[in-house]
């Protein structure tokens, strides 16, 4: 049984969750796992020299737990659908994993809001650092233009996914 896994990553508060949820609404047999659900408790988050909690680092996340949830999804996806020689693209289980540090190992409203200077002084520099690390990885990564509308981004990713699923279907039928 084939599965299709998509990663959506980018700067904090950049629309990843919104895009993932929109895709989930429109794609059959689609699940979403959000990295935001795997932050460690605040008591385990380090503070920088300016007094900001360091949420934008990998150490702030319980990645072992996240990987365990992903593994469980992969195992249940293999078992949940009976495999046939002529599976349609709609039957392929799709997992969308979204988060700000995926490739390094609804609009979000923060309550309480971030302290003044936190985004410019911490979030953006950490994003740039991690993006550079991502660019050094040889995986196929498609970068989205964050200045485009939410609808345009959704349509671009949705069309790319439909094309990839169609390729998967062709591969399965001829195999």
Residues belonging to the active site: 36
Token digits for 70? 């992903």
* Whether residue 112 has a cis bond before it, omega within 30° of 0: yes
**Whether the Cβ atoms of residue 124 and residue 59 lie closer than 8 Å to each other:** no
Gap between the Cα atoms of 60 and 139, Å rounded: 24
Gap between the Cα atoms of 167 and 158, Å rounded: 14
Q: Where do the DSSP E strands lie in 3-135?
A: 4-9, 30-34, 94-99
């Amino acid at each position: 049984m084939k599965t299709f896994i998509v990663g959506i990553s980018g700067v904090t508060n950049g629309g990843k969750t919104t895009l993932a949820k929109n895709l989930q609404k429109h794609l059959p047999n689609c699940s979403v796992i959000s990295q935001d659900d795997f932050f460690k408790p605040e008591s385990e988050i380090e503070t920088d020299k300016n007094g900001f909690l360091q949420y934008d680092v990998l150490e702030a996340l319980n990645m072992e737990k996240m990987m365990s949830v992903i593994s469980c999804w992969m195992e249940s996806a293999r078992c949940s659908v009976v495999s046939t020689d002529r599976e349609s693209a709609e039957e392929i289980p799709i997992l969308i994993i979204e988060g700000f540090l995926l490739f390094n190992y609804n609009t979000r409203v923060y309550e309480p809001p971030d302290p003044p200077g936190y985004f410019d002084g911490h979030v953006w520099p950490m994003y740039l650092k991690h993006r550079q690390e991502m660019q050094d990885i040889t995986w196929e990564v498609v970068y989205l233009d964050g200045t485009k509308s939410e609808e345009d981004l959704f349509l671009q990713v949705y069309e790319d996914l439909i094309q990839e699923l169609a390729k998967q279907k062709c591969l399965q039928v001829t195999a």
